[in-house]
Structure 1
Amino acid sequence: MIVAGAVVQGTGHLAAGRGCQDAFKAADLGGAVVLAVADGAGSRERSALGAHLAVDAACRVLAEGVPAAEDAPEVWTAWAAAGGARLVAEYLGAAQAVLGATAGATAGEAADVGALAATVAAAVVRPPWVAVVSVGDCFGTVLTRQAGAAERCHLVMPPPAPGGPGPVFLSSPGAALQVRTFVVWEPELSGVVLATDGCAALSLDHPEVHGLPPEAGPVPATRFFCGLAATLRANGGDAEPLRALLSGPAAARTGDDLTVLCAVLDGW
């Protein structure tokens, strides 16, 4: 399995003098891999730290007790649901510990985990299984391929619909009740890609592009996801083309930080 990721500071953040508030991390479990991306809230001063706490917590929690490839679907779905709740609890504990340990922090500041607000999406890839856990507006795509056919991409964890309520953060009240999970057994699995919401304009098409009604929601762009997978297979996982893609003119439209992390099966 080829794992590669890149994070690029958004043009809007550069113009405003703000640092990058995205983070990503992967953990190789031997036969399985955990992927995690996080997006810190732009309005919170310590959200970059919150994003790093989020991916650390995701890789730590979701590396524990991963079901076997031969386990039943109900085992995987129960494990993913429990893992989402544990992820929120682990993040909150880490955030409270960090803020409480900050030199000069008052009691009120130490309790304000909202200062570290971040969203997160994480995936455990153990072919043919994929389990995705998300809090907030990061999103996930699964790639599949039949022998002799073109690769396809499927948006399995979409970002929230535009015009809805603001994003839920790991530090939001009741976040554990708003965890989204998705589990799939896919014998034609060829890759998994996670991205922060800044990548939506670059990697998701409006449904009208594919002749679909607006209510169908965003559609993953084949040119982005399948092109990326093909490039990584060809170069053995060099992330530089991915970094260049996230730094190109099309990516500049968003102004937000952009992060992509993927695991690509190299047997195709």
Structure 2
Amino acid sequence: MIVAGAAVQGTGHLAAGLGCQDAFKAVDLGDSAVLAVADGAGGRERSALGAHLAVDTACRVLAEDAPGPQDSPETWTRWIAAAGARVVAEYLRSVTAVLTATAPPHAADAPDAEPVDAGALAATLAAAVVRPPWAAFVSVGDCFGTLLTRETVAAAEPEPAERCHLVLPPPEPRGPGPVFLSSPGAALRARSFVVWEPELSGVVLATDGCTALTLDHPSVRGLPPEAGPLPSERFFCGLAATLRANGGDAEPLRALLCGPGAARTGDDLTVLCALTDGR
């Protein structure tokens, strides 16, 4: 399996003197992979650390005891729901430990000490386990995910076209603000689901700064606005073809995220993918 990712500091953050607040991490398990991307909440001084804690926690939890390719949909669904709740709980435990350890000496023992504010490290998260024909997703907040499929063909037949499907869309632009891993009730508001797809050829996760670069308005395909955003075939399928051709070198992906089309939001941009490497 080919695993590649890149994170780029947004132009808005660069102009404001802020570092990149996104993070990504992957665990390549040979026949499967665990992916996680996180977006630290803007304006929170330590949100970059929160994003790194989020992807570390997600990869550690989701790499443990994942069901196999032959397991039932019920097994996969129960497992990813429980794993998603555990990711939130262990993230909060890690954040609390960090904030407690870095508090001024004896601050926690003061009579009027305030409780630890986990929101100081607030971050959103999207994570996935890719084990063809299964892909299992966990999401808290506004990161999004795309599934790639390609028809299986005989060796003598032409290479089939790859297709992309937005299976984890970002929230509505006019909806309520994003939910963070540190938000009250985050475990209850986490999204988790599984996809069984015999033609699965890859999964791509991205932070919300990438929407303008990677998603098309439905009018591009002659559809009404109610159809919602659609994944850009030129971006996702082109990226997959490039990464397979170069063996997973992420430099072309980094170049895409640094290009003129990526600067429209000014936000940090992170893309992480796992692709099957054979026909």
Report if the CA contact (8 A) 1:99-1:109 is conserved.
no
Post-superposition Cα deviations, 1:126-184, rounded to whole Å, max 9, x if no partner, equal: 11110011000000000001134210000000000110000000000000011111211
Report if the CA contact (8 A) 1:39-1:138 is conserved.
yes
CA distance in structure 2 between the aligned counterparts of 1:79 and 1:240, rounded to whole angstroms: 35
Local SS of the residue matching 1:250: helix
Partner residue of 1:72?
72
Local SS of the residue matching 1:237: coil
CA distance in structure 2 between the aligned counterparts of 1:252 and 1:109, rounded to whole angstroms: 40
Distance 1:65 1:74, change over 3 A: same
CA distance in structure 2 between the aligned counterparts of 1:154 and 1:125, rounded to whole angstroms: 15
CA distance in structure 2 between the aligned counterparts of 1:267 and 1:21, rounded to whole angstroms: 34
Partner residue of 2:10?
10
2:149 to 126, 129, 144: 144
CA distance in structure 2 between the aligned counterparts of 1:24 and 1:49, rounded to whole angstroms: 12
- The share of aligned pairs that are identical, in percent, is 79
Partner residue of 2:246?
235
- What is the 5 A alignment of 1:112-261? 112-146=117-151, 147=153, 148-261=159-272
Aligned residues: CA RMSD: 1.1
Instruction: Name the amino acid aligned to 1:177.
Output: L
C-alpha displacement of 1:30 = 3.5
Instruction: Name the amino acid aligned to 1:123.
Output: A
Partner residue of 2:20?
20
Partner residue of 2:97?
97
C-alpha displacement of 1:211 = 1.3
Report if the CA contact (8 A) 1:96-1:110 is conserved.
no
Structure 1 unaligned spans of 5+:
none
Q: Which runs of 4+ in 1 moved over 3 A?
A: 105-110
- TM-score, length of structure 1 as denominator length: 0.98
C-alpha displacement of 1:103 = 4.6
Report if the CA contact (8 A) 1:100-1:110 is conserved.
no
- TM-score, length of structure 2 as denominator length: 0.94
Local SS of the residue matching 2:127: strand
Number of aligned positions between the proteins: 268
Instruction: Name the amino acid aligned to 2:147.
Output: V
Report if the CA contact (8 A) 2:2-2:275 is conserved.
yes
CA distance in structure 1 between the aligned counterparts of 2:114 and 2:211, rounded to whole angstroms: 33
CA distance in structure 2 between the aligned counterparts of 1:267 and 1:51, rounded to whole angstroms: 32
Instruction: Name the amino acid aligned to 1:137.
Output: D
Local SS of the residue matching 1:111: coil
Post-superposition Cα deviations, 1:68-113, rounded to whole Å, max 9, x if no partner, equal: 1100001001111111100100100000000000052744576100
CA distance in structure 2 between the aligned counterparts of 1:32 and 1:263, rounded to whole angstroms: 9
Distance 1:7 1:110, change over 3 A: farther
Instruction: Name the amino acid aligned to 1:140.
Output: G
Report if the CA contact (8 A) 2:88-2:181 is conserved.
yes
Instruction: Name the amino acid aligned to 2:198.
Output: P
